[in-house]
């Protein structure tokens, strides 16, 4: 290793001592026999850099300290997030962020602990652009350097989800459960998302109220509202924009429409679908339409009961909405189901186990 590389790694490792400890502490305990699922041919054919790469000037000032370059890249990422919150499409700035960080990772060496950490930013940035093919390419490349990289393993599975590769996403989540068994957050996230894609369900019976059919459709006032929807590349940016808007908003009906429109504007992973439905339910509640708040949130435990965390959160929300309607019996019935959703193991239906591979991305 030359002196420049040594100086770079020494300065960066000083900034990431926790990462070094985590990496060295966990990898020794990982199961080396777990094999990364073979990538599809289309992923092999994806180029290592996107079409826009030559149009972005490289920021490789050799005289700048590597920590300084990392700091500037992270500042640019914060600037990008600020643009999103203001409703501005940050595509060009995010492309620059990706290129700066990619060149930095290449310079310090992709197998160094800081590079593994920074690689997660790159995967996330491609996903936020809506370029899930490049996100998958980056994640797969990082996994080849480190098969126990949490961000890369979950990032690849997430990209497969967005690209319609359901079976490959399931395989990556199953791989993550085994390969990341010493990292509880990564392992449990992978297990929960995999169970959702396998369409596992819990033996918990939800009984709909008698008024259900009267509130199945969207309210008439929704069609009369006009909302300005920013042009984003992904639901990730839409989520961040929504959070900023909802903190300032004074019109709950506009919030409801914005939540609905944005949740229908992008390809969504299962976890994003759950998030979107919860946002819509909460928006209806703020309007005072507690019936539609219930019907919107209901779909979470009904369709995604394998996700015990969000299912129980939705049930608590539904019970509170029934209380607002004065339907205390229904509220108690829902609360009585909480132990079932929290403890009963999700089961995979036999018909789902025979599913074929999901369609390939277009």
Same topology for domains 3-201 and 212-344, yes or no? yes
The whole-angstrom distance between residue 14's C-alpha and the CA centroid of its chain comes to 30
Give tens-digit pLDDT for 15-58: 333 333 334 334 434 555 689 999 999 999 999 999 999 999 87
Given this model, what pLDDT does residue 67 score? 72
Q: What is the pTM of this model?
A: 0.83
Given this model, what pLDDT does residue 351 score? 37
List per-residue pLDDT tens for the chain, 362 residues long. 444 444 434 433 333 333 333 343 344 345 556 899 999 999 999 999 999 999 998 775 554 566 777 788 888 889 999 999 999 999 999 999 999 899 888 888 887 888 888 899 999 999 999 999 999 999 999 999 999 999 999 999 999 999 999 999 999 999 999 999 999 999 999 999 999 999 988 888 899 999 999 998 999 999 898 888 888 999 999 989 988 887 777 788 888 898 899 888 999 999 999 999 999 999 999 999 999 999 999 999 999 999 988 999 999 999 999 999 999 999 999 999 999 988 656 776 443 333 333 333 33
Fold of 3-201: 1.25.40
Question: In degrees, to the nearest 5, what angle opens at C-alpha 152 toward C-alphas 100 and 345?
Answer: 150
Give tens-digit pLDDT for 99-118: 989 988 888 888 788 888 88
Which residue, among 120, 130, 85, 119, has the nearest Cα to 269 in the 3D structure? 130
Options 3.40.1800.10, 1.10.3210.10, 1.25.40.10, 3.40.50.300; which CATH number does 212-344 get? 1.25.40.10
Mapped onto helix, strand or coil, the DSSP state of residue 347 is strand
Distance CA(8)–CA(109), nearest Å, equals 10
| Chain position carrying tokens 């996330």 | 124
Distance CA(150)–CA(43), nearest Å, equals 20
Question: In degrees, to the nearest 5, what angle opens at C-alpha 91 toward C-alphas 89 and 92?
Answer: 120
- What are the residue ranges spanned by the domains of the chain? 3-201, 212-344
């Amino acid at each position: 290793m030359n002196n420049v590389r040594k100086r770079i790694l020494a300065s960066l490792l000083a900034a990431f001592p926790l990462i070094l400890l985590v990496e060295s502490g966990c990898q020794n305990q990982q199961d080396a026999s777990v094999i990364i699922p073979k990538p599809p041919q289309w992923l092999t054919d994806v180029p290592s850099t996107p079409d826009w790469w030559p149009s972005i000037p490289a920021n490789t000032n050799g005289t700048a300290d590597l920590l300084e370059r990392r700091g500037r890249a992270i500042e640019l990422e914060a600037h990008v997030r600020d643009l999103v919150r203001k409703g501005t499409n940050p595509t060009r700035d995010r492309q620059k962020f990706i290129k700066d960080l990619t060149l930095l990772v290449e310079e310090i060496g992709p197998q160094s602990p800081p590079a593994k950490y920074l690689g997660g930013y790159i995967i996330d940035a491609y996903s936020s652009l809506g370029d899930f093919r490049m996100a998958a390419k980056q994640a797969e490349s990082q996994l080849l350097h480190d098969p126990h990289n949490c961000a890369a393993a979950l990032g690849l599975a997430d990209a497969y989800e967005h690209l319609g590769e359901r079976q490959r996403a399931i395989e990556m989540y199953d791989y993550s459960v085994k390969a990341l068994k010493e990292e509880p957050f990564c392992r449990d996230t992978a297990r929960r998302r995999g169970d959702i894609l396998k369409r596992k369900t819990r033996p918990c019976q939800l009984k709909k109220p008698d008024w259900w059919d009267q509130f199945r459709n969207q309210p008439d006032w929704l069609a009369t509202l006009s909302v300005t929807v920013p042009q984003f590349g992904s639901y990730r940016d839409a989520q961040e924009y929504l959070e900023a808007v909802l903190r300032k908003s004074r019109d709950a009906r506009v919030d409801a429409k914005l939540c609905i429109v944005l949740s229908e504007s992008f390809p969504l992973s299962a976890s994003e679908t759950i998030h979107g439905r919860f946002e819509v339910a909460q928006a209806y509640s703020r309007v005072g339409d507690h019936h539609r708040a219930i019907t919107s949130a209901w779909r979470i435990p009904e369709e995604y009961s394998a996700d015990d965390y969000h299912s129980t959160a939705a049930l608590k929300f539904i019970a509170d909405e029934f209380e607002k309607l004065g339907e205390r019996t229904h509220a108690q019935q829902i609360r009585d189901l909480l132990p079932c959703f929290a403890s009963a193991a999700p089961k995979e239906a036999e018909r789902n186990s025979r599913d074929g591979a999901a369609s390939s991305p277009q």
